[in-house]
Chains A and B, each alone.
Chain A
Amino acid sequence: MSAQPDLLYSEEEEALRAAVRDLLADHCDAPGVIARTESGAPHDRAAWKALADGMGLAGLLVPESLGGQGATHREAAVVLEELGRAVAPVPYLTSAVVATEALLAFPHSRLRSSGGTPIADELLGELASGRRIGALAVALNVAPGGAYKAVRHEGGALRGEVTGVADAGAADVLLVPADDGGLYAVDATAATVTPQVSLDLTRPLATVTLDGATGHLLGDAEPAVRRALRAGAGLLASEQSGLAEWTLTETVRYLKERKQFNRPVGGFQALKHRLAQLWLEVVNLRAAARNAADALSTGEDADVAVAVAQAFAAPVAVHAAEEALQLHGGIGMTWEHPVHLYLKRAKADSIAYGTAGAHREALAALVDLQAP
């Protein structure tokens, strides 16, 4: 808490935002995203390739020496704001943030693959380039520091099932905690990945089943999982911020156009006040999310900043999406209109990486406001 966090966006960050927004305008228009949710390929591979391969954004958190961009959580947060605004079905948060952070917990991995590079470093390079996609095999609802399921490690082989793993269906490599306390890198082809019918159609879940698969031991799971989930929770707030901004902007736009009783609906004070309240929540969320991203990048006050952001973000994003639906009236209930994608994402996000209540509980200890 010594230095003031930088809560603004730099010129470079704004340029990055503009580039990502352009890219998503080309790839992830609403009808396309809706159509994709019911196709056999829920993830948008072309958009992912453009983001990862074309712009190098999957490697923002990875040091340049390992093939990444050597940027910080601040830039990754800007990318996530835009991905949230578009509810883009790409595994950015899960692979480029969460799986990447888990691997970054092993800077001096002693196990080497055939090429002689430490295996975590090798995987980081692959994830950074977007050549491979990673997923942490921990259920999406688990909060930083929360209990997670470990598979059995028996005689050199992994056995067990993990449900609720986000974007596992797109993953090439799974990072699997086992009951010996280790985190293992398992090739997705060695596992059975079964899609689940997910509330959030744009970040689908899958069940990972291991039946004697072998994996590379990376090191201790607990600190790596905690670190990964903390970064995931903190940067999720930026995605929620982008999502909430889209719902507000789109609802305001629509209510200026939509006419009933011979006037634009947006001129009715009851609705104006609701939108103004929502604007205030969205503006507050932006500051909280920016603070979390900055704290993750400096390491200063990060536990509190992440818990504050997540305790605040989930109710705001859900409220924004729910208001958007209600204020759109009947059109908002249709499958054709994209607002349902935002509602489903917002509601799923309110559980992802810990509920607001779980983060408040964490804060109680962090800021000494103990329970009775």
Chain B
Amino acid sequence: MSSAEELRRRTRELLAALPPASTDRLDFLRARFDAGLAWVHYPEGLGGLGAPRSLQAVVDAELEAAGAPDNDSRRNGIGLGMAAPTILKYGTEEQKRRFLRPLWTGEEVWCQLFSEPGAGSDLAALGTRAVRQDDGDWVVNGQKVWTSGAHNSRWAILIARTDPDVPKHAGITYFVCDMTDPGVEVRPLRQITGEAEFNEVFLTDVRIPDSRRLGEIGDGWRVAQTTLNNERVAIGGMRLPREGGMIGPAARTWRERPELRTHDLHQRLLKLWVESEVARLTAERLRQQLVAGQPGPEGAGMKLAFARLNQEISGLEVELLGEEGLSYDDWTMRRPELVDFTGREAGYRYLRSKGNSIEGGTTEVLLNIVAERVLGLPAEPRTDKDVAWKDLTR
């Protein structure tokens, strides 16, 4: 059931039964899911056919050639990239059937309620409390932060403290939170760019039935690792053409605006161009290793490299622009649905890329991870390992 030919045949059957030109977009997406052609590596009945992940490209190519609608995956990146693999791995059959189909079609967008004002790099110290009620439900109180898309989301993946009397990693449980619950309040969090990509989410007596717990009570940290590992895969798995990243707009400005060139900027631009090209090759090498079934540890490094490059290149670009670099395109407070690094001007890129070395693991934490897991250097001394969460210093 996993040959490319078989998948091609099934895709054509779907297209014949529901010609994209005359089929409602959502009807088509639902039918595609039911045909197992949504994500072919998922199990049968859950949008897949248990086929190798690499064969998805066969399906996608057929559908694209036929002009079929896609599920606009960028709109639900957290749902597709993080919530779905976690639900697949830890969800009950009922949870998988309830959540995966509308998640994949985009009918239900997901967000992530992990970070807190007091738990950033030390996520496991989180303090949002979930307390078990007599009827078995949970009541959640606390504050989450840096939640992208919270205002558009139907569901959230949530980790909360269910046992404060054990060490921090042991007392966490993973839930699916209904974002329409009256106790959920979403407030935009304005960033240095002027806009609000992210939100603060205040949870006040939010009731979560036990049937929306994902994994065992107290096992939330382990469940969250699946989510976070998938985040890093998503960040590291990009395939870029030459000048495909942040260097592209800077190089274009250089070519189109000879009057802005100086010798100092030329040397710095060339150096960053070389580093961008090498980072691109490193990412490509990583991708080839994954395809060949020899995953290397390089993935941990790619985010570090791109964060620094994005920051240095956009900083150079602002400087290159001279007088124009003193202007900014727009400080208006907005809540964008998508982050677009290249759709705006250099000043925006400069400011937004400052977050690249903070979001998804700070550069400092990632360097620790590389040092310890890749190089095998001694771990940081732990003073919190055997201390009950409630007794930690805050």
Q: Which residues does A use to contact B, with CB under 8 Å?
A: 1, 4-8, 252, 255-256, 263-264, 266-267, 269, 272-273, 275-277, 279-280, 283-288, 290-291, 308, 311-312, 357, 360-361, 363-364, 367-372
Contacts and interface: CB of A to CB of B under 8 A. Distances in A.
B377 A280 contact: no
A363 B254 CA distance: 14
Contacts of A372: 258, 261-263, 266
A361 B271 CA distance: 10
Interface in B112-171: none
A303 to B, nearest CB: 13
A29 B69 CA distance: 63
Contacts of B298: 283
B97 interface: no
A252 B373 CA distance: 13
B305 interface: yes
A267 B377 contact: yes
A6 B374 CA distance: 24
B285 interface: yes
Interface of B: 242, 251, 254-255, 258, 261-263, 266-267, 269-271, 273-275, 277-279, 281-282, 284-285, 288-289, 292, 294, 298, 301, 304-305, 364, 366-368, 370-372, 374-381
Contacts of B371: 272-273, 275-276
Contacts of A256: 376-378
A9 B269 CA distance: 31
B273 A363 contact: yes
A167 B279 CA distance: 34
A8 B285 contact: yes
Contact of B368 (A255, A272, A283, A290): A272
Contacts, number: 127
Given A7-B284, A272-B371, 5 more contacts: A255-B377, A275-B375, A276-B375, A308-B277, A311-B271
Contact of A276 (B270, B278, B370): B370
Contact of B364 (A273, A280, A308): A273
Contacts of B288: 4, 6-8
B263, B278, B294, B366 — most chain A CB neighbours (10 Å)? B278
A269 B365 CA distance: 10
B285 A287 contact: yes
B57 to A, nearest CB: 15
A360 B270 CA distance: 6
A280 B255 CA distance: 30
Contacts of A357: 267
A308 B378 CA distance: 35
Given A255-B377, A283-B282, A8 B305 contact: no
Contacts of A311: 270-271, 274
Contacts of A252: 375-377
Given A276-B375, A279-B375, A269 B278 contact: no
A5 B283 CA distance: 12
Contacts of A8: 285, 288-289, 292, 294
Contact of A287 (B263, B278, B374, B377): B278
Contact of B367 (A5, A276, A363): A276
Given A363-B270, A369-B255, A371-B266, A279 B261 contact: no
A266 B372 CA distance: 10
B301 A279 contact: yes
20 contacts: A4-B284, A252-B375, A267-B380, A267-B381, A269-B368, A272-B368, A272-B375, A275-B375, A276-B371, A276-B374, A277-B367, A279-B374, A284-B275, A285-B278, A287-B282, A287-B285, A369-B270, A371-B261, A371-B263, A372-B258
Contacts of B275: 284, 312
Given A368-B255, A369-B270, A372-B263, A272 B305 contact: no
Nearest to A267: B378
A290 B284 CA distance: 12
A235 B117 CA distance: 51
Contacts of A5: 281, 284
A357 B267 CA distance: 8
Contacts of B285: 7-8, 286-287, 290
Contacts of B367: 272-273, 276-277
Contacts of B269: 369
B376 A364 contact: no
A369 B279 contact: no
Contacts of B263: 371-372
B277 A266 contact: no
A312 B266 CA distance: 16
A370 B367 CA distance: 36
Contacts of B262: 372
Nearest to A290: B285
A251 to B, nearest CB: 10
A84 B371 CA distance: 24
A279 B278 contact: no
B388 to A, nearest CB: 26
Contacts of A371: 261, 263, 266
Nearest to B271: A360
Contacts of A273: 364, 367-368, 371
A366 to B, nearest CB: 11
Nearest to A362: B270
A8 B298 CA distance: 13
